[in-house]
Amino acid sequence: MSIEAAIVAKLDERFAPKHLEVLNESSGHNVPKDSETHFKVVMVAAEFEGERLITRHRMVHEALDLELRSGVHALSVHTYTSREWQDRFGNVPMSPPCASSSK
């Protein structure tokens, strides 16, 4: 299983997020081709209600402890409550760009 897939699976299982994006940003860094070392996580979860931002980030880091100790060099974490997401982006979560799009 790829590191990206493991991150998605662990976050899905731990938080049952309403919205989850896991982006491998490794290609933008000085690492070998096809590396899995730099990731961005964007997540909306009910469990973040009433939690400070630092607590939310700690929760994500705890869920991904193994990945962070075994190869992931950088993890950018963006966590939102449903209300925060709605206030910032509207009613519908943003869709990730389609990799197969020709446009």
Q: What is the pLDDT of residues 2-44, one digit of tens each?
A: 999 999 999 999 999 999 999 988 766 666 676 677 899 999 9
Per the structure, the complete domain to which residue 25 belongs is given by 3-89
The answer to whether residue 63 is domain-embedded is: yes
Q: What is the pLDDT of residues 59-102, one digit of tens each?
A: 999 999 999 998 888 899 999 999 999 999 887 555 666 555 44
The answer to whether residue 21 is domain-embedded is: yes
The answer to whether residue 103 is domain-embedded is: no
The answer to whether residue 100 is domain-embedded is: no
- Tokens found for residue 69: 């100790």
The answer to whether residue 40 is domain-embedded is: yes
- Tokens found for residue 73: 């060099």
CB atoms within 10 A of CB 61: 13
For residues 2 and 27, what is the distance between their CA atoms, to the nearest angstrom? 15
Report the Cα 79 to chain-centroid distance in Å.
8
The answer to whether residue 97 is domain-embedded is: no
The answer to whether residue 95 is domain-embedded is: no
DSSP 44: E
CATH code, domain with 52: 3.30.300.90
The answer to whether residue 36 is domain-embedded is: yes
Total of domains in the chain: 1
What pTM value is reported for the model?
Answer: 0.81
